Amino acid sequence: MEEFFKRNPKVAVAFSGGVDSAYLLYAAQKYAKDVCAYYVKTQFQPKFELEDAVRLSKQLGAKLNILSLNILTVPNVCENPPERCYYCKKAIFGAIMEAAAADGYTVLIDGTNASDDVKDRPGMRALKELSVLSPLRECGLTKTQIRALSKEANLFTWDKPAYACLATRIPTGETITEKKLCDTEKAEEYLFSLGFTDFRVRSQDGHARLQIPEKQLERLLKYRKDILVKLKEYYKTVSLDLEVRS
């Protein structure tokens, strides 16, 4: 990592507030000469992701530029085709590149790591087309190693659960709307408040399907009635996906 930033001393960091980009920003702050983080706020990110991004950047004393993008107006995104991630990534990283260039940064880096399977991933194709560099992957750092290094660096994100964007809760081919995204965020926020972790609330045609780790099923039964009452504010029915493993 140190060698990478010797070659690239001035960088813009695509910063999501997650485990990987948090460690990337830490390393950039440590080894590069000039760093600025860019967070793109869209309807696909829950509020806590932005809060974590702001908190982490303050912890590191890093410059943070928050951009706003109405992702649902980007062509081929709200229609939710199989290639949705490609169009979304291209729009988000394109916005970062434009803002970074205006600020004098010509090198953009992201948190893709050596554990990420980049084959047949539309989003990764978009990053390649935009010439985004992925130092964590270049240096062979895996997710497990990044968590360990983040813990050593006292980053609060070291044990943060993986969290895919809200759009992934809606099945391919079903139109994405702002209401569906808001309902998903509120439903998952409620389950977070009850102590659930590493779960998903999938939505399909107005019905919710819960994916809960096996070790948390006892908690699910404990709060079953409360969950039904709350989630039926947003969904017609609420069911449990028994095929999900811990």
Predicted local confidence at residue 120, as pLDDT: 62
Tell me the domains of the chain and their CATH numbers: 2-159 (3.40.50.620), 177-240 (3.30.70)
Predicted local confidence at residue 116, as pLDDT: 85
Phi-psi region of 104 (alpha: psi -120 to 50; beta: other; left: phi over 0): left
Predicted local confidence at residue 176, as pLDDT: 97
Pairing of strands 34-41, 10-14: parallel
Each residue's pLDDT tens digit, 216-242 = 999 999 999 999 999 999 999 999 998
Predicted local confidence at residue 161, as pLDDT: 87
130 with 169: CB under 8 angstroms? no
